[in-house]
Amino acid sequence: DSSSAPAKSEVQGEKKPAEEDDKDDKAAQSLLNKLIRSNLVSNTNQVEVLQKDPNSPLYSVKSFEELRLKPQLLNGVYGMGFNRPSKIQETALPMMLAEPPQNLIAQSQSGTGKTAAFVLAMLSHVEPNNKYPQCLCVSPTYELALQTGKVIEQMGKQYEEVKLVYAIRGNKLPRGTKLHEQIVIGTPGTMLDWCSKFKFIDPKKIKVFVLDEADVMIATQGHQDQSIRIQRMLPDNCQMLLFSATFEETVWNFAQRIVPEPNIIKLKREEETLDTIKQYYVLCNSREEKFQALCNIYGAITIAQAMVFCHTRKTAGWLAGELSREGHQVALLSGEMQVEQRAAVIDRFRNGKEKVLVTTNVCARGIDVEQVSVVINFDLPVDRDGNPDNETYLHRIGRTGRFGKRGLAINMVDSKSSMNILNRIQEHFSKNIEKLDTDDLDEIE
Ligand code: ADP
């Protein structure tokens, strides 16, 4: 490159700012979870409900029949293999389907049935004979919009009159187009253009507005403003629904600008605990020694499936290579892979095709592989500043109370500083991490 752009901006341009990373990360994680999830995440906590009008009765349903859905939709729901409403759906569905429509802000971790709930609400409110957009749904990315679109198509399979269109960049329509589809799903920028600049959609005719993944949404510059501008064009009687997996102050502030007079439903995440985990550490001097220790552990105990976490892609790649040379069936999960490829690797591992999954910290954040009983921290989890990442440590090896299968965690320590990290993790959780001698492994089983 012979151009003489200012050196400083070039240097800055090399590295993505932290927030950019964070945003990609959040959207990718969310997509990954959707791609690998085939079931509801179970949760034994109670939902918290805050009603707009605390005096009105609170309905909750235990069956889909009680909702008096159109037969096509009831069939659609059963066709997807749902037998009864999920925890959050028990209260969210009657609220969303009430007459007059109620506004809702709902928060629960991914996999608890939010998408299925608002898809059912949109499909129920559509008037199929009216051939114009009546429901808008905004998602943070193109890929996430497509995933929601798939759910609409599945659930509405027997409701053929209802059509769906994607308001996403790349879907270019001729000027003057008037949409005939009743449901429009897309990203905020394109959705806003379609409502205002191009007028493909008449916002005054919208009955339901859904904003999905609010926490991922606000991580992207501009999405917040675009969403609010869309919301401002909608009629007063339009039902506003907002969903989020987490609920920090910033998400909450945004939610209140999108949803006036909301009912609020929250479902706390199932607590993770280290109580049912045996934690050990192994002292080594180099990564070769760590690898040897790992081999010794494998030789000594029967390990059905293990996940091994490394700090960098390079270490993960090296370790996966060494392990396969030793004859292990290894799967490697790495940051340069597309989300779809990552999902495929996790799926194979889940189905037992490989026994060891080697991955980097970043890549595997937020993934649950429940049947894994052995977790090996080849490198300890640290945050950007090199401090112990306790949350990741807990999430990686912790078990939820209800599925408290016993687990084993082995931490590899190879320096003073990693010993220091280990000690701080130990202190944080007030749980002893025992030293393991890999030349004498009788104690472990
Ligand atoms: P979220 O939007 O909270 O991430 P989803 O609506 O995508 O959750 O649901 C997670 C998974 O559970 C999906 O595979 C979905 O098909 C399934 N699911 C949703 N609702 C039910 C239900 N009532 N019964 C059984 N499975 C369900």
DSSP state letters, 260-328: SS-EEEEEPPPPEESTTEEEEEEE-SSHHHHHHHHHHHHHHS--S-EEEEESSHHHHHHHHHHHHHTT-
- Name the nearest CA neighbour of 126 among 118, 117, 135: 135
Give the per-residue pLDDT at 33: 83
Structural tokens at position 403: 């599925």
For residue 40 and ligand 1, the question of a CB distance below 6 A is answered with: yes
What's the CA-to-centroid distance between 61 and ligand 1, angstroms? 16
What's the CA-to-centroid distance between 334 and ligand 1, angstroms? 27
* Amino acid identity, position 291: F
pLDDT of residue 12 exceeding 60, the answer is no
Q: Which of 118-122, 290-294, 340-344 has the lowest mean pLDDT?
A: 340-344
- Tell me which of 36, 41, 60, 115 to substitute to probe ligand 1's pocket, judged by most ligand atoms within 8 Å of the beta carbon: 115
For residue 114 and ligand 1, the question of a CB distance below 6 A is answered with: yes
pLDDT > 70 fraction of the chain, expressed in percent and rounded:
90
Q: How far apart are CA 217 and CA 188, in angstroms?
A: 9
Q: Residue 103 in contact with residue 52, Cβ under 8 Å?
A: yes
Q: Residue 106 in contact with residue 92, Cβ under 8 Å?
A: yes
Q: Which of the four pLDDT bands, split at 50, 70 and 90, describes residue 53?
A: confident
For residue 273 and ligand 1, the question of a CB distance below 6 A is answered with: no
Give the per-residue pLDDT at 324: 94
Give the per-residue pLDDT at 40: 87
For residue 79 and ligand 1, the question of a CB distance below 6 A is answered with: no
pLDDT of residue 9 exceeding 50, the answer is no
pLDDT > 90 fraction of the chain, expressed in percent and rounded:
65
Q: What residue owns the CA closest to ligand 1's atom 23?
A: 85
Q: Which of the four pLDDT bands, split at 50, 70 and 90, describes residue 369?
A: low
Q: Which of the four pLDDT bands, split at 50, 70 and 90, describes residue 286?
A: very high
The stretch 165-191 carries a mean pLDDT of 96
What's the CA-to-centroid distance between 287 and ligand 1, angstroms? 42
Q: What residue owns the CA closest to ligand 1's atom 22?
A: 82
| Ligand 1 atom with minimal separation from the 245 CA | 3
Buried/exposed 133-151: b ≥16 CB within 10 Å, e otherwise: bbbbbbbbbbbbbebbbeb
Q: Which of the four pLDDT bands, split at 50, 70 and 90, describes residue 15?
A: very low
Q: How far apart are CA 252 and CA 246, in angstroms?
A: 9
SS3 439: coil
For residue 39 and ligand 1, the question of a CB distance below 6 A is answered with: yes
What's the CA-to-centroid distance between 368 and ligand 1, angstroms? 16
Q: Which residues have C-beta within 8 Å of that of residue 171, sequence separation ≥ 6? A: 165, 186, 190
Q: How far apart are CA 131 and CA 165, in angstroms?
A: 12
Q: How far apart are CA 336 and CA 228, in angstroms?
A: 34
What's the CA-to-centroid distance between 34 and ligand 1, angstroms? 9
Bridge partners, residue 264, by sequence: 50, 105
pLDDT of residue 8 exceeding 60, the answer is no
Q: Which of 160-169, 245-254, 269-278 has the lowest mean pLDDT?
A: 269-278
Tell me how far CA of residue 40 lies from CA of 48, 187, 237, 414, in angstroms: 19, 26, 32, 39
Give the per-residue pLDDT at 11: 34
Query: Within a 13 Å sphere around the CA of 379, how many CA atoms are in the beta-carbon half?
Result: 21
The stretch 178-206 carries a mean pLDDT of 98
Which range of 78-82, 292-296, 333-337 scores highest in mean pLDDT? It is 78-82
Tell me how far CA of residue 394 lies from CA of 154, 189, 275, 357, 421, in angstroms: 36, 37, 11, 18, 14
For residue 133 and ligand 1, the question of a CB distance below 6 A is answered with: no
> What is the radius of gyration, based on Cα positions, of the chain?
25
Report the DSSP pairing between strands 183-186 and 208-211.
Answer: unpaired
pLDDT of residue 17 exceeding 80, the answer is no
Give the per-residue pLDDT at 14: 39
Q: Which of the four pLDDT bands, split at 50, 70 and 90, describes residue 79?
A: very high
Q: Which residues have C-beta within 8 Å of that of residue 44, sequence separation ≥ 6? A: 270, 401, 402
Q: Which of the four pLDDT bands, split at 50, 70 and 90, describes residue 58?
A: confident
Rounded to the nearest integer, the mean pLDDT of the chain is 89
- Tell me which of 82, 153, 210 to substitute to probe ligand 1's pocket, judged by most ligand atoms within 8 Å of the beta carbon: 82
Bridge partners, residue 356, by sequence: 306, 330
Q: How far apart are CA 396 and CA 209, in angstroms?
A: 36
Distance of CA 86 to the CA centre of its chain: 17
58 vs 70: which has the higher pLDDT = 70
For residue 61 and ligand 1, the question of a CB distance below 6 A is answered with: no
Give the per-residue pLDDT at 272: 82
Residues 311-337: tens digit of each pLDDT: 899 999 999 999 999 999 999 998 888
| Cis preceding-peptide flag for 128 (omega within 30 of 0) | no
Going along 139-177, which residue ranges are E strands? Answer: 164-167
For residue 113 and ligand 1, the question of a CB distance below 6 A is answered with: yes
Residues 380-433: tens digit of each pLDDT: 999 889 999 998 898 888 776 555 677 899 999 999 999 999 999 999 999 999
Give the per-residue pLDDT at 371: 67
Give the per-residue pLDDT at 21: 52
For residue 89 and ligand 1, the question of a CB distance below 6 A is answered with: yes
- Name the nearest CA neighbour of 230 among 247, 212, 211, 215: 211
| Ligand 1 atom with minimal separation from the 108 CA | 3
Give the per-residue pLDDT at 370: 67
Residues 109-128: tens digit of each pLDDT: 989 999 999 999 999 999 99
For residue 38 and ligand 1, the question of a CB distance below 6 A is answered with: yes
Residues 222-251: tens digit of each pLDDT: 999 999 999 999 999 999 999 999 989 999
| Ligand 1 atom with minimal separation from the 64 CA | 23
- Per 3-state DSSP, the chain is made up of helix, strand and coil in percentages (nearest 5) of 40, 15, 45
Residues 24-43: tens digit of each pLDDT: 678 888 888 888 777 888 88
User: Is this complex's ipTM strictly greater than 0.85?
Assistant: yes
Q: How far apart are CA 312 and CA 338, in angstroms?
A: 17
